[in-house]
Amino acid sequence: MWTKANRAKYNRDRLRYPSDVTDEEWGHVAPLIPPAKRGGRKREVDMRAVFNAIMYVLSTGCQWRYIPKDFPPKSTVYRYFCDWAWCGVLDRMHDALYVMCRERAEREATPTAAIIDSQSVKSDGKRGARIDPHGYDAGKKIKGKKRHVLVDTQGLLMGAVVHGADIQDRDGGVLLLSTLHGRFPFLEKLLADSAYQGPIFADATGKILPCLKIEIIKRSDQAKGFVKLPMRWIVERSIAWLNRCRRLAKDWENLNITALVFLRFASIRLMLRKLCNC
């Protein structure tokens, strides 16, 4: 039970778990969380404790009901997890931290080049009334979901979508670009691998972003073993960074939107550490 004694103990032992945010990291997040609504009962929940609980689930991959008792109740944490996702708080938080990271690197807030790639992950056994369908990726022989990510040349997440693994990369890439909604008006170049080549992806992309130029980076036929391809390694590194969160190790979520929210939180976690560990 989340009592005043538990709250006091939490404040005394604020960095008990490695997933907890530091004071400096919380200084970046706290102004981006909206205040309590006017009227009704006064908010008694510690927002830092809620945020740390979400980071704990993300980092450890545990189920919601296994959240330690020194965090707020799982129902409270999950309610804020959903509210922040549906009310736009998570998007505003992610965009604000993204601009901070770009400015810290002395770059423009809006990038001009981006790299796109996908990752197929296996789905775990699921039960429930609402489950988004998975698919089979014949190329990678994986039955599950596919995450499409778009990153800048620093490796920071610009956008992402989650869908069945049976959707081709070129179709998933079009779906991803259609979710940007003009957020990056100066985007000029898109770097991709050979899965995105061909007129289907180019024509569909031209209707969404007419000024975007697509550059396909192919692996040389003479190359043997592992070869670091120019610019392509950046998105692969970003996927590896995000996969450090055990919640993203497999497809555990019934809904694609929930998987996307965890992906956003993983990107927020990455940007906070970039901002505070420079």
pLDDT reported for residue 260: 96
Residue 128 reports pLDDT greater than 90: no
DSSP state of 122: E
pLDDT reported for residue 231: 82
pLDDT reported for residue 146: 95
Q: Tell me the residue type at 246.
A: R
**CATH, range 108-253:** 3.30.420.10
What's the average model confidence in pLDDT over 160-168? 94
pLDDT reported for residue 130: 82
Contact between 191 and 113 under an 8 Å Cβ cutoff? The reply is yes
Residue 72 reports pLDDT greater than 80: yes
CATH 3.30.420.10 maps onto the chain at 108-253
More confident call, 247 vs 13: 247
pLDDT reported for residue 224: 64
How does strand 213-216 pair with strand 157-164? unpaired
Phi-psi region of 184 (alpha: psi -120 to 50; beta: other; left: phi over 0): beta
Residue 8 reports pLDDT greater than 70: no
Residue 189 reports pLDDT greater than 80: yes
What's the average model confidence in pLDDT over 205-224? 83
Half-sphere exposure of 113 (CA within 13 A, CB side): 11
Half-sphere exposure of 104 (CA within 13 A, CB side): 16
pLDDT tens string 91-103: 999 999 999 999 9
Percentage above 70 pLDDT, the chain:
91
pLDDT reported for residue 127: 73
